[in-house]
Chains A and B, each alone.
Chain A
Amino acid sequence: MDYSELDKVRRRTTPLQLDVVDSFVNGRLSRREFIQRGTMIGLSMASVSAIIAACGGTTTSSAPAASGKTGGRIRAAVQRPVSVDPVAMQDLGGYGITAQSFEFLTTQNTIGDPGGLAPGLATEWSPNADGTVWTFKLRQGAKWQHDGSPFTSADVVATMERLVAAGNSGLKGVLDKGGAVATDANTVTFTLVGANGNFPYLVSIYNAQTLITPADYVAGTKFNDRPTGTGAWKLVKYDQASGATFDRNPDWWGGKTPLDGTEWIFFDATGPMITAYQGGQVDAIVQFDVLTGASLLDDANFSLIATPAALHRQIWMRCDTGQFAKKEVRQALALSFDRPALITQLFKGRAELGNDHVIWQGYPYFDASIPQRVQDIDKAKSLLSAAGVTNLTADLHVGQLQEIPDLAALLKSQAAQAGITLNPVVESLDTFYGAQWCPAEPADPPCSGASELGVVDYGHRATPDVYLNAALKSKGIWNSSQYSSPEFDAAFTQFQAAVGVDAQKAACTKIETILNEDVPVGLPYFYNYLAGNSNKFTGVFSSALGQMSFSQTSQV
């Protein structure tokens, strides 16, 4: 341990940052957790690296840095965008296209272990002592592509006002109108509704609509109608039927990109993306699933980017009424899951074990000490017997989406071992969401018309707040299991208010324990976000939200 180096960094940190540094030094945070947590609360990568080095470690690059030839273009396959309105877009296609030109305050950390934050249009950020006020120092020298005017704090403030007015799901309840104030041309102060230790994530690449747009941008404007941005690429052509073309932005603050430009080809299904890659018509795929793209997993010419993510499926069980109202019955069903088999058969191993709670292993506050639930048929049978349940038979409602129908079939065979008969009912997504998962009526409490058992999909979130608040909190808007636990609600409130690492971990331990015990939802796995590119290119980075970065990409 090099204490002199350590002290140099410690002297420059705020109390919250100091808490994270000390947690790492004292072994309460792993190296990966430290990078994620440290970058989020505003420690620069230089400081993070210095502390890791002082403690005897090193940071490594997760992908090879661009070292190939300059020039050329890469062709990326992306799902056809529904909307490229940066404020209102809701689909991965829109996220991927807009993020080529517009940038975030904080972005994906591509140095060291993934998951942390790196400077984007903000170079530094730090909270006050209780995490209610965050100050962001902005990058100087960034220019808008449309007129060359400088990027300033006025752009950030106006963007935040648009997002708050639009009810951005990440900022709702966190930032109110007028909460973002320009302290000077290069500093913005965010005064939050309450303490929030995760705020930098909410204005990052992980909240896809928080792309910074010019101060005079009007909500509802499509990117292709007013192409601009501060980023590495300039939109030169956009055709909803075929795709988009970007050229290098020569004025990008990040310097000259190795590639001359990028081509984005729009697709309506994953299958043609795969054949287009195999036929040599695309070089990169922004997202694909294991079942459709199995051939790519073993393709020696394909550089797979398998990003561990919080993507998961929840098997909800009604806790208030019906056959699953007793906790023992829910536990019995969860005990019938052969999770490793599900991961092998559905994802060819590209997933992580779930433990019937929504705290993903990648979150820095995940507590690994909660025992992993494993298949135990005898225990499942004894629980059912203790609950006085025999011949349990239930419809398992699922939507026609990716691997979910196959998951239902596997669950059926696994549950049968415990004497539980599941009848998978596969429906169109419209019918499934509207009639089984969360029918609009009765409206109070929300989702009280849900079926007693079903499987619903959840996308990646940088923090688990949405899962906890919407799906599990009493009267949550997506609470299809109708779970209501004062103990859980209190733990969630404690998590939201927690700012320091120890406090967040303590809250998460409670949350994991309660959910694992009560099992309002079975959660067998968190699966990887899959993307990739031809190995003729290097330096491609992918988020788990449809954004693919080519600013460091070059031809081998």
Chain B
Amino acid sequence: MARFISRRLLLSLLTLWLLATIVFIIANVLPNDVGRTILGPFAPQESVDALNERLGTNRPLFVRYAESIGGIITLNFGKSFVSGQPVLPTLIDAIIRSAKLAGLALLITIPVAISAGLYAARRRDRPVDRGIVLLGVTSSSIPEFITGTILVVVVGVQLKLLPVLATPPPDADIPTQIRYLLMPATAMAIVYFGYIARMTRAGTIDVLQSDYTRTAAMKGLTTTQTMRHHVLRNALIPTVAVIAVQIGYLFGGIIAVEKIFNYNGMGQTMLFAAQRKDLPMLTAGVLIIGIVYMIATLIADMTIAWMNPRIRLDAGR
């Protein structure tokens, strides 16, 4: 297992370097005028030139690249071009906010979706199975911004049951924070319910049809024992992989949901940085999202390896 993790970590570092290089190229090689973008179209050219000089955006490309990679290694991402504040604390705040939202969304989605998927698989082709499949397809077909808007109008504006803004007051306790995040998390959960439920259902049906499940049933194990010891471990492997990818996606920020609920998570922070050509913020943000993706997939791989010894043995070779 240690060897498996070491190899994955090394691969992750290589991926991060590639990611940093690609972000740098996209941000710096494409034609743009950082000073002009920050100061706006009506700023005098002298001010734009002075700002470019101060920010160092007119220095040679390789110098900026070396500085960028050096900053990543030392975790010194510099200061925001726009606000002048250090980048890292801003992004840490944003990722914590995104983590709260994503965490709540997953907390709602995972148990419900897995239960629904398992339930449907065990009642394959019955009305309840078809109902869950239909619900899953429908919910994953409706984008978050539609679901979010409907929730805002109905639950927030008409019924006034929940706040329409997701950002709680600064000193809010945990129940208050959950109350503020419940609507956007629900909007996200509705979409991911479909993916996870259908994946669980498909994986479970596959395993239920396998020889070893039939053998387990024939040797006299109860359905619960068969499900717990033979089906679940194998059936949930693809589901775990899907959840890992979704975690990275959720942390990366669901811009539409953040916009609708005025929540300043990673999505809005990154969008703002991209619009303003705030390169230090953009570079560091993409890297942090990349790291989250990698950690999520690493944990998923480890979980899958734990669930299925064959994968563990393959990785060890």
Contact = CB atoms under 8 A, between A and B. Distances in A.
A301 interface: no
Interface stretch (A98-106, A329-337, A430-438, A527-535): A430-438
Contact of B156 (A279, A430, A438, A478): A279
Closest 5 CB pairs of A and B: A279-B164, A433-B41, A272-B262, A241-B264, A279-B156
Contacts of A269: 259, 262
A186 interface: no
A280 interface: yes
Contacts of B259: 268-269, 271-272
A422 B275 CA distance: 29
A519 interface: no
A62 interface: no
Name the residue among A83, A275, A434 with the largest chain B CB count within 10 angstroms: A275
A272 B160 contact: no
A391 interface: no
Contacts of A429: 41
Contacts of B41: 429, 433-434, 437-438
A222 B160 CA distance: 37
A517 B123 CA distance: 80
Contact of B42 (A82, A237, A278, A478): A478
Contact of A90 (B39, B85, B93, B153): B39
Name the residue among A237, A266, A430, A470 with the largest chain B CB count within 10 angstroms: A430
Interface in A299-325: none
Contact of A275 (B44, B97, B157, B268): B157
A150 interface: no
The main secondary structure of chain B at its interface with chain A is: loop
The main secondary structure of chain A at its interface with chain B is: loop
A430 B262 CA distance: 24
Interface string A58-99: 000000000000000000000010110000001000000000
A367 to B, nearest CB: 27
Contact of A240 (B33, B42, B83): B83
A222 B157 contact: no
B58 interface: no
A237 B170 contact: yes
Contacts of B165: 265, 272, 276, 279, 281
Contacts of A434: 33, 36, 41
B170 A222 contact: no
Q: How large is the interface on A (under 10, 10 to 19, 20 to 34, 35 or more residues)?
A: 35 or more
Q: How large is the interface on B (under 10, 10 to 19, 20 to 34, 35 or more residues)?
A: 35 or more
Contacts of B82: 82-83
Given A90-B39, A281-B164, 19 more contacts: A90-B40, A167-B47, A222-B84, A239-B170, A241-B264, A242-B167, A242-B169, A242-B264, A269-B259, A269-B262, A272-B262, A275-B153, A276-B164, A279-B157, A281-B163, A429-B41, A440-B33, A477-B45, A478-B42
Interface in B273-287: 276
Nearest to A443: B45
Contacts of B164: 272, 275-276, 278-279, 281
A267 interface: yes
Contacts of B42: 470, 478
Contacts of B153: 275
A411 B156 CA distance: 38
B185 interface: no
Nearest to A83: B83
A278 B153 CA distance: 9
B212 interface: no
B211 interface: no
Contacts of B33: 434, 440
Nearest to A239: B170
B40 A241 contact: no
